[in-house]
Structure 1
Amino acid sequence: MIDLRSDTVTRPTEAMLESMREATFGDDSRDGDPTVIRLEAMAAERMGKEAGAFMPSGTMANLVAMLTHAQRGGEVLLEQGSHTLNAELGGIAGVAGLFYRGLPGHRGAMDLDALREALRPTLRNQMGTALVWMENTHNRAGGAVLPLDHMRSVHALAGERGVPVHLDGARIFNAAAALRTEARTLAQYADSVCFCVSKGLSAPVGSVLCGSKAFIERARAYRRMVGGNMRQAGPLAAAGIVALETMVDRLGEDHRTARRLAEGFHRIDASLVDPREVETNLVRVELRKSGRRAIEWSASLKEKGVLVAPCDAYALRFVTHRHIGDAEVDAAVSAFASLWDGR
Structure 2
Amino acid sequence: MNASTNTATDARATVVDLRSDTVTQPSAGMRAAMAAAPLGDDVFGDDPSVNALQAALAERLGFEAALFMPTGTQSNLCALMAHCQRGDEYIVGQFAHTYRWEGGGAAVLGSIQPQPLNHAPDGSLPLADIEANIKPDDAHFARTRLLALENTIGGKVLPMGYLADASELARRHGLARHLDGARLFNAAVAVAAAEGGDPYAAARRICGHFDSVSVCFSKGLGAPVGSVLCGSRELIQRAHRSRKMLGGGMRQAGVLAAAAHYALDHQVRRLAEDHALASRLAEGLRGLPGLTVEAPQTNIVFCDVDRDIAAKLVAHLKAQGVLATGLYKLRFVTHLDVDAAGVDHAIAAVRRFFNA
TM-score range, shorter chain: over 0.9
> Among residues 31, 38, 43, which one is paired with 1:17 in the alignment?
31
Shift in CA distance, 47/269, structure 1 to aligned 2, threshold 3 Å: farther
The aligned counterpart of 1:266 is: 286
Write the distance in 1 (CA, Å) between the matches of 2:158 and 2:290.
25
Following superposition, the deviation at residue 267 of structure 1 comes to 3.5
Q: Which stretch has the larger CA shift, 159-168 or 17-26? A: 17-26
Alignment of 1:142-161 (within 5 A): 143-161=155-173
Give CA deviations for 1:38-57 in whole Å, capped at 9, x if unaligned: 00011112221111000001
Return the alpha-carbon distance in structure 1 between the equivalents of residues 270 and 243 of structure 2: 31
Deviates more, 1:21-30 or 1:165-174: 21-30
Verify: 1:249 aligned to 2:269, yes or no: yes
Q: Would you say the 8 A contact 1:10–1:322 is kept in 2?
A: yes
Structure 1 partner of 2:191: 179
Is 2:151 the partner of 1:136?
yes
In structure 2, distance between residues paired with 1:207 and 1:53: 8
d(CA) in 2 for partners of 1:225, 1:102:
26
Please say which of residues 100-109 and 211-220 is displaced more in the overlay.
100-109
Query: Percent identical across equivalent pairs?
Result: 44
The residue type paired with residue 180 of structure 2 is D
> How far off is 1:79 after superposition?
1.6
The residue type paired with residue 21 of structure 2 is D
Deviates more, 1:332-341 or 1:121-130: 121-130
- Give how far 1:270 is off: 8.2
Matched, 1:114 2:134: no
Matched residue SS, 1:291:
helix
- 5 Å-filtered alignment, 1:52-91, equals 52-91=66-105
Secondary structure at the counterpart of residue 78 of structure 2? helix
Aligned-pair RMSD on alpha carbons?
1.4
2:44 pairs, out of 7, 10, 30, with: 30
Partner of 2:336: 322
Q: Distance in 2 between matches of 1:296 and 1:269?
A: 15
Name the CA distance, whole Å, in 2 between partners of 1:72 and 1:100. Answer: 12
Q: Secondary structure at the match of 2:269?
A: helix
More off after superposition, 254-263 vs 93-102: 93-102
TM alignment of 1:323-342, pairs within 5 A: 323-342=337-356
Matched, 1:196 2:216: yes
**Matching of residues 273-312 of structure 1 within 5 Å:** 273-275=293-295, 278-288=296-306, 291-293=308-310, 295-310=311-326
Q: Deviations over 1:134-190 (max 9, x none)?
A: 000002xxx000001111111111111111010000000000111115211111111
Alignment check: 8 A CA contact 1:67 1:96 kept? yes
| Separation in 2, partners of 1:269, 1:83 | 31
Deviation track 1:6-31 (CA, whole Å, cap 9, x = no partner) reads: 11111111111111111122110113
4+ residue runs over 3 A deviation: none
User: Alpha-carbon deviations, 1:60-113, whole Å to 9, x = none?
Assistant: 101111111101111111121111222111112111111111112223200110
Aligned to 1:279, the other structure's residue is in SS state coil
Taking the aligned partners of 2:29 and 2:322, their CA distance within structure 1 comes to 28
Shift of 1:32: 2.5
Contact 1:70 1:131 (C-alpha < 8 Å) held by counterparts: yes
SS at match of 2:44: coil
Q: Secondary structure in 1 aligned to 2:292? A: coil
167-176 or 105-114: which moved more? 105-114
CA distance in 2, matches of 1:91, 1:296: 34
Amino acid at match of 2:25: R
TM superposition shift of 1:125: 2.2
Shift of 1:269: 4.2
**SS of residue in 2 equivalent to 1:95:** helix
Normalised TM-score (structure 2): 0.91
1:8 is paired with a residue whose SS is coil
Please tell me the residue identity of whatever aligns with 1:301: L
Aligned to 1:225: 245
In 1, Cα distance between equivalents of 2:271 and 2:290: 27
Secondary structure, in 3 states, of the residue corresponding to 2:229?
A: strand
Structure 2's unaligned 5+ residue stretches are: 1-14, 193-198
> CA–CA distance in 2 between the matches of 1:80 and 1:20?
38
Contact 1:306/1:332 (<8 A) preserved: yes
Structure 2 Cα separation of the partners of residues 316 and 204 of structure 1: 25
Q: Matches of 1:55 and 1:227 in 2, distance apart?
A: 10
1:205 is aligned, of 225, 243, 265, to 225
